[in-house]
Amino acid sequence: MTTATYEARALGVHSGMPAMKAARLAPDAVLLPVSFELYRRHSRLFKDALRTISPHIQDIGIDEVYADITLLDGASHAIAQRLKAVVFEATGLTCSVGIAPNKLLAKLSSDMQKPDGITVLDMADLPSRIWPLPARRINGIGPKAAARLESLGISTIGELAARDKVWLMEQFGRSHGSWLHDAAHGRDERPVLTHSEPVSMSRETTFERNLHSVRDRTELGGIFTRLCEQLAADLRRKGYAGRTIGIKLRFDDFRTVTRDLTLHEVVADATAIRQAAGLCLKRVDLRRALRLIGVRVSALERAGAPVSAQAQQSALDFD
């Protein structure tokens, strides 16, 4: 399942669930085909619409943004209503808006009144409205961290906030522990970034049936080459080239391995990617059947960057 309506969610269906399990939970549900083309179009429409009100927008995904509305006129609630109105006008879709002093709390707020909700929050609301929530609701605390916290007797954000920062740093490491403490106290200084450069691009596919490197050699080779071609097309379309080529394999036992190789020069064409990826593949024990392969390019550079921008090389060494 890619997603589910709120009616289906009430029956326990959620994204990532196998179709047969969803069918058992919601036997009367209507299964619709996915159309990422359609979603991308609406994504563009809703982001463009938002920009007419607040140009300072950070793209998070296909259906999510942060907006810095510090300098906008009007009360928070009225701004939220305007944002929702332009989105509905452009797409016919409802959305939920959270307004808070920082991104961490805004994200938390936006989840509090779904669907079609508005939540306005300030620091004073922390003890009454945030602290009772499960720690897992913090963006960045996933299943593993939540389980770890649970084993330490911490279920809610409030219980996390009550713990000593130094103790958290001992349990979770300096950086993560300190972040957990700050997050539980609603502290977050990250700015709203309106532009970011991609770090990597990849293509991967899960097979209809598991494939074996020897028995299904031809089929596997064809899929591998096609992924490289698609990746090369993505790079070309977006205007990037990369120096590190990597592969990802998932075996029939769900174990995942990656291998990568950094080249001397950036590449963007399918042949070069395929060749480097082939070298990576040779470094993996392929006795088990595969369920997924993927190809990735990282260490990206803008392709066709102006040559004049290249610095003059010189060396200086102290005597």
Partner DNA sequence: TCTGGGGTCCTAGGACCC
Question: Which residues have a catalytic role annotated?
Answer: 64
Query: Using CB under 7 A as the criterion, which residues of the chain lie in contact with DNA when the complex forms?
Result: 2, 15-16, 18, 20-21, 60-64, 107, 138-146, 173-176, 198-206, 234, 243-244, 246, 254, 256-262, 280, 283, 291-292, 294, 298-299
Q: What angle do CA 171, 177, 181 make, to 5 degrees?
A: 120
Nearest to 36 by CA among 15, 57, 17, 63: 63
DSSP string, 103-138: HHHHHHHHTTT-SS-EEE--GGGIIIIITTSBGGGS
Looking at the Cβ atoms of 171 and 205, the one nearer to DNA is: 205
Query: Considering the complex, what minimum distance in angstroms separates the CB of residue 71 from DNA?
Result: 25
Q: Which two tokens stand for residue 203?
A: 């293509």
Q: Which two tokens stand for residue 68?
A: 């810095």
| Gap between the Cα atoms of 57 and 50, Å rounded | 8
Query: Considering the complex, what minimum distance in angstroms separates the CB of residue 274 from DNA?
Result: 16
| Gap between the Cα atoms of 115 and 129, Å rounded | 18
Looking at the Cβ atoms of 113 and 206, the one nearer to DNA is: 206
**Which secondary structure element, helix H or strand E, spans residue 169, and what is its range?**
helix 165-172
Looking at the Cβ atoms of 237 and 308, the one nearer to DNA is: 237
Helix, coil or strand: residue 36: helix
Contact 205, 227 (CB under 8 A): yes
Would you give the DSSP letter of residue 307? G
Contact 210, 252 (CB under 8 A): yes
Beta bridge partners of 204: 294
Query: Considering the complex, what minimum distance in angstroms separates the CB of residue 150 from DNA?
Result: 11
Helix, coil or strand: residue 203: strand
Looking at the Cβ atoms of 161 and 249, the one nearer to DNA is: 249
Query: Considering the complex, what minimum distance in angstroms separates the CB of residue 76 from DNA?
Result: 21
Query: Considering the complex, what minimum distance in angstroms separates the CB of residue 78 from DNA?
Result: 25
DSSP string, 226-280: HHHHHHHHHHHHHTEEEEEEEEEEEETT--EEEEEEEEEEEE-SHHHHHHHHHHH
Query: Considering the complex, what minimum distance in angstroms separates the CB of residue 315 from DNA?
Result: 10
